[in-house]
Amino acid sequence: MEREPRTSLPVPARQTAPVAVSVPALDRVLALQRSAGNAAVTRLLARSPLADQVKAAPDKGAVFALLRKQGGPVTDADTISAVQALYAQGTDDRWLADQLVTYGPEPLWPATALADRSRRSTAGKWAPEPGNISAVIAPPDKDPDDANAKPVVAYFFPGQSERRALIIGGVHGSEPQGVEVVESLRGELEKACAAGKPPYFTVILIPALNARTRGKSRYVPRDPKESAKQTLDQGIEPNRSFPAPGEDYADARARVAAGKPELVYTPPPGQKMPAATGHETSKMLPETRALIALIERFSPERIASVHAHGISAGDAKVGDDPGIFVDPATDDAAAGEQLGKRMLAEGKAHAGQLPTGRKDPFRGNVGDSVTYDPNAPHARGYSLGSWAPAPTKTRKGISTVTVEVPQYGGDAAATQQVENLDRDILLNIFLGPNPKQNP
């Protein structure tokens, strides 16, 4: 976002007698200062192009769009008074404008404000709104690594209920199918919301989390100047850059303040430390920081992360083939398991529409199991699926679904069809719409 430049005139010191100046604008300032005092002068000098745009906006939709476009809280006093002059206190319009001034666009709002928004929009029956409200999610702390990352862009869609879900793609840049599924879902949600048929869940989408690796690599370069081969051999595995289960962002930061590594890995009881792969990190990526900040603010009850997976030769491998897998919230495991099973059932019910000769897109769900193989080897470091489901002192556990879209090589038609299938599972089951079907 770019703020528009503001013309700044020198502010004269308080004066007892007028001074001769040749600048007409400054004459007006001084005349006003004599008649109205310094506060009015300060306001006049602070007049911003944004305030003028707000006053000239043709309707409230244009005003809200202008405020959202700032990409963050609005601090310019002139714009704030222009907005407040437009809408009477106590109205929904004034409330929405005040939230946009305070927090910026909806992806930056705390969960309490979004819950209030949901109650107001359904109670007051707001006109259908297409959603698709974007914002860049910044990491909470400045870090030298930030310069190497691309912005994390999130999109908000209002739901029929206060319940909140987060869907991300592009954790791994080598899995473009995941990004395509979430982008396609973004288009479908915009159409549905504009038509007055929003999903049951209020949702934020992040189509391409680690955008700097998109179309390039699974791993994140340690140094932007390293070769593709070096990244392949020793790049950071982005899905092993989360704090330990039970830890908040602040807990990991507290370790840094105490002179310790930000991330630590402790094998589960009875297990040895896994062999190093070269892809470990002791520090969160900037994109991971931004994602965690969003999760802690937005407080979703469920997360879906859309990846892509090759198809194994020979027998299907439990949890290591295309399919739908869930890490249930550890404080509500039954609901998480049920969500995964319903998504799988929906997928299987429609998989017959895929081209013949394509292997089962859910072949990793051996025996309709939606859990990972508990004996599978683990890399060092915690994934989103191990961090999010564990409750912390500030939030509940979050059931985390991993969708592994099958990789059909160069078969564009089959790829399109299976991506649409996974998109529709997310739209129809993960996001609702029927609350009775959303335990």
Interacting residues with Zn ion between 163 and 182 (CB under 5 A): 172, 175
Smallest separation, CB 181 to Zn ion (Å): 12
* Closer CB to Zn ion, 78 or 175, in the complex: 175
Binding mask 32-71 for Zn ion (x = CB under 5 A): ----------------------------------------
Q: Based on CB atoms, which residue is closest to Zn ion, 164 or 363?
A: 363
**Residues 115-154: x where in contact with Zn ion by CB under 5 A, - otherwise, as a string:** ----------------------------------------
What string marks each residue from 301 to 320 as x (binds Zn ion by CB under 5 A) or -? ------x-------------
Cβ closest to Zn ion, residue 172 vs residue 214: 172
Least separation in angstroms between residue 307's CB and Zn ion is 3
Residue showing the smallest CB distance to Zn ion in the complex:
307
Count residues near Zn ion (CB under 5 A): 3
| Least separation in angstroms between CB 148 and Zn ion | 20
Nearer Cβ to Zn ion, position 175 or 327?
A: 175
Closer to Zn ion by CB, 172 or 380: give it.
Answer: 172
**Shortest gap between Cβ of 232 and Zn ion (angstroms)?**
15
- The answer to the question of residue 214 lying near Zn ion (CB under 5 A) is no
Minimum distance, C-beta of residue 402 to Zn ion, in the bound complex (Å): 8
Contact between 322 and 404 (Cβ < 8 Å): yes
Q: At closest approach, how far in Å is the CB of 182 from Zn ion?
A: 13
Cβ proximity to Zn ion: between 172 and 297 the closer is: 172
**Interface residues with Zn ion (CB under 5 A)?**
172, 175, 307
